[in-house]
Amino acid sequence: MRLFIVSITIIFSIFIGNSQELKSPNGALIMRFSLEANGMPTYNLSYKSKPVIKSSRLGFLLKDDEKSLMNDFTISNTETSSFDETWEPVWGEQKEIRNHYNELAVTLTQNETERKVLVCFRLFNDGLGFRYEFPAQENLVYFVIKEEKTQFAMTGDHTAFWIPGDYDTQEYDYTESKLSEIRKRFDSALTGNASQKQFSKTGVQTALMMKTDDGLYINLHEAALIDYSCMHLNLDDKNFIFESHLTPDAIGDKGYMQAPCKTPWRTVIVSDDARDILASKITLNLNDPCVIEDTSWIKPVKYVGVWWEMITGRSSWAYTDDLPAVQLGKTDFSKVEPNGKHAANTAHVMEYIDFAAKHGFDGVLVEGWNEGWEDWFGKSKDYVFDFVTPYPDFDVEEIHEYAKSNGVKMIMHHETSGSIRNYERHIDKAYQFMKDNGYDAVKSGYVGNILPRGEHHYSQWIVNHYQYAIAKAADYQVMVNAHEAVRPTGICRTYPNLIGNESARGTEFQAFGGSKPNHVTLLPFTRLIGGPMDYTPGIFEMEISKLNPNNHSHVNSTIANQLALYVTMYSPLQMAADLPENYNRFLDAFQFIKDVAIDWDEGIYLEAEPGRYITVARKEKGANKWFIGNVNGVDARTSNIKLDFLEAGKKYKATIYADAKDAHYKTNPQAYTIKTKKVSSKSKLSQLSVPGGGYAVSIEEIK
């Protein structure tokens, strides 16, 4: 990875007075920091002279400490600086990323206690990042956070796209409402999915997307979540003030700190153009540079897998249904009657390897290969997986050799069952087992309650575990795709072996009752702000009952929409999630999935409106090939775009995969058209997108 430092200017100054102003490099954003009369730190933010964040308080409540870190501060020092660099990610939406900001660091000293807190603000052209730092000091060494009291005071009753502030899952459909309506819409937003209901009925998760009545787009999130609890936001819906609410641990504490230390960055991305929110790289830029010296083994992956058939109920993860015969990991499965539905068997996996090799896919994921699923599905609280013991019908060595001979990599699956300590005990042996058998990537899962203490999925201790697993994987040159883990906050810049996460409502919910047809027009504005998602697109058979007569779910999407997701839902890890038999029925449409790139030199957001539509054009890394994806919400519309991003003077062939005129996500999802035409940088494209539909385009230069 190359790094180009363009300019760094540092200015040291002693702060005089109680306020200071910081401008973005282009002057459009202005942040003002000040102390109230009682010594309470506050900030506000404006964009093009419009207020974005009104005066908002900063600080902490500490456990067992009558004196909070909220007020009685004076400003003892300030430092200002400007920074401008261009760096190259290992993989990404573009070849180079500019990191350009102005910084203000304010050192606060509490009068009575002499405790020091530094608040660091970085103002980019597209938003603000700020964090707290606790320097080494005598009067504040070990402390426990009772609550972080960071505020984001909104200027009005904005439209918000939100999910409930659950401590254990992000797998919700998004609700669109005014801020004032969150409380009354909260119970219906849960949709029976809440892992627990201790959170506030005005609590929401980040990344939170909002739109003001006068056309500003605002996104609240966090960056570089390391050794700290995940932040949610509680809303004072009378005054429209969000306040941070950290995920508690098993006994209610929010964070165990030892100075010197720092918090994650709190981020506010703002623009009057929705496309700028999607294009922002603030989250990545606020993370540390890559710490992996040799990244040559980290490669984007397009894969198929033994997965969707289990999700739909057609097949089984478990080897047997004879639960009484299974004795908590001590059973000889060769003596147990198989259920005939176990999908992770050698012959069936070889069929997937054949399909992957034939169509040029990099890898094959197999779930349900290791012993123990019977106990886990049987709700045994004592059972934990060991990650190295296969069922008798899964021949690890034979599959390894067969995949290798076909030029296909196998992708490991580790379901931890939420037993963190057990996974950490086995992790070295599990990763070594992977390397010994040709697995370079792992999909890890954390389904269920966290064991043994009953922690929440997003508390400090568990966040630290996710980070430990990524760092340990890097030691073994293993890429990680973590499911049910904390939502990403740009850490993939520092550890690019984190090539994907789930951490949101993915395609699997289309087999669990469905997702809203506009769900994929919101994920890039929310979940993907922190990093790529393993969304698992590519479903061609929308009627799940055709795979499992007992499952009457419907995939709320058209085939053209599914194709477009490979472009609009950026990820270096992309799955063709449906069964091979369904792709064989629509090989002409499947061609786009085979052709589409997964690593890019450039990305351009052409159209965007949260909850309504997104259109993206991306240039394949190292090639003069472009791909366009458009996903549409619930209302039919005609997308109109210019192809002026193409190189002038050259001719191209465009292959357009689009909804048929009578297509509809519910009534006619498999109706699509494919046509080709010659285009150039002067061309325009006008294309219908039906409800829940979209289109995908591949563009290749005519030599």
Q: Which residues are catalytic?
A: 508
Question: Order of strands across the sheet with 19-23?
Answer: 19-23, 29-35, 41-47, 50-57, 151-153, 241-246, 231-236, 203-205
Cβ neighbourhood burial of 150 (10 Å; 0-12, 13-18, 19+): buried
DSSP structure string for 598-636: SSEEEEEEEEEETTTEEEEEEEETTSSEEEEEEEE-SS-
| Beta-sheet pairing, 261-262 with 231-236 | unpaired
At 357, which amino acid appears? A
Q: Measured in whole angstroms, how far is the alpha carbon of residue 287 from the centre of its chain? A: 15
CA distance 502 to 486: 9
Helix or strand run (H / E) with residue 429? helix 420-436
DSSP structure string for 160-215: EEE-B--SS------EEEEGGGHHHHHHHHHTT--S---S-TTEEESSEEEE-TTS
201: left (phi over 0), alpha (psi -120 to 50) or beta: alpha
| DSSP tag of 141 | S
CA distance 436 to 600: 31
587-595 and 559-568 helices cross at what angle (nearest 10)? Answer: 0
CA distance 363 to 434: 14
Which of 159, 166, 157 shows the shortest CA–CA distance to 525?
Answer: 159
Rg, Å, the chain Cα set: 26
